[in-house]
Copies of this chain bind each other. A is one copy, B any other.
Amino acid sequence: MNQKMQWLRNQLLSMNLQGMIVTNPVNIKYLTNIRAEGTLLVTRKENVFITDGRYIEDVHNTLTLFDEIVVYDARSLTKEDFENFFLFCENVGFEEGHVTYAKYKEYMHKYKINNLVETEHMIEKQRMIKDVEEIENIKKACEITDKCFEYIVNYIKPGMTEKQIAREIDDYYYKNSEGKSFDTIVASGENSSKPHAIPTDRKIQEVDIITIDMGCKINGYCSDMTRTIFVGEVPQYVKPVYELVLKNQEQVLNDMKENSNTKLITKMVDNDFRLNNYDLIHALGHGVGLDIHEAPLLTINAETVLKENMVVTNEPGIYIAGRFGIRIEDTVLIHKGTCEALTKSPKKYVIIR
């Protein structure tokens, strides 16, 4: 059986669960490499993946004998088959953060389960710590993102629209990776004051500011990077804000390592922003892996302690409504006594002339 499924079985044993229903497709991909719609059942006797006619062929091509996963077409299963999967199981785990209330009720009935037990995001928690192969994939995605940034800085000219630049980034990713890991943000001028701006038809000016938030996927694993760049020159009124964001982003890189407390780190950034009459209006960062946003979330409200081989973003930002915004973000790998920014594009005043 593959290592991750074995880990899950051991975990269930220690929680006195005799089975589990896994429905989050990202967790299914993590555990089995399957990228098809369906449900993964860990039963007493075997591992089962239930899918439908559209995916059967593909799933069979993904799995190896070593995986020890039996694949069923849902249409070939009877009412009794479903009821038999968890026969003699007292407690069966489910993903309470993914399963809807309606599905929860349906599962109880369909699988005849007495006690459907919350598993408190145990797979997501395990996913926080990346193994060698996962780190390799994320590193590769970050490298391609750096190359794409270099390419796009040379590509951008005044007169182009935000949409056009976003499309060029997407196209670069399409050619060099599995594609973008989230909707690319290209926010120029006053649009840069919206942290989650959607690219518009606004044209880049002769003197302008552009925030670009971009990432791609390799084998399902994501990268995430933001740079705020300039066209023509850096306006004087922008400089103090840029320096403040950059200073904090670099300070955070100094502070991130095994055992550092992200609540404290976030608080320090927030304090420094407040001293200058700004606010940190979003999280300082988030985990990156098979999901572009995954655990842990780095905010003032969560007591997270970083561990070796976590991959998280570091993305302070300041937004001045209707005027402009600055965000600088890296994808960061946590080591024992230090950390490593996996995205390495320049941060100090990239100016397009």
Contact = CB atoms under 8 A, between A and B. Distances in A.
Interface of A: 36, 52-55, 57-58, 94, 96-102, 104-105, 118, 163, 167, 170-171, 174-175, 193-196, 279, 281-282, 319, 321-322
Would you list the 3 A-B pairs with minimal beta carbon distance, nearest first? Answer: A53-B281, A96-B102, A96-B101
Nearest to A174: B167
A55 to B, nearest CB: 7
Contacts of A118: 101-102
Contact of A100 (B58, B97, B171): B97
A196 B102 contact: no
Contacts of A282: 52-54
B193 A57 contact: yes
Given A54-B194, A57-B321, 6 more contacts: A52-B282, A54-B282, A58-B194, A98-B100, A163-B174, A170-B174
Nearest to A73: B281
Contacts of A58: 194, 196
Contacts of A98: 100
Nearest to A163: B174
A230 B281 CA distance: 54
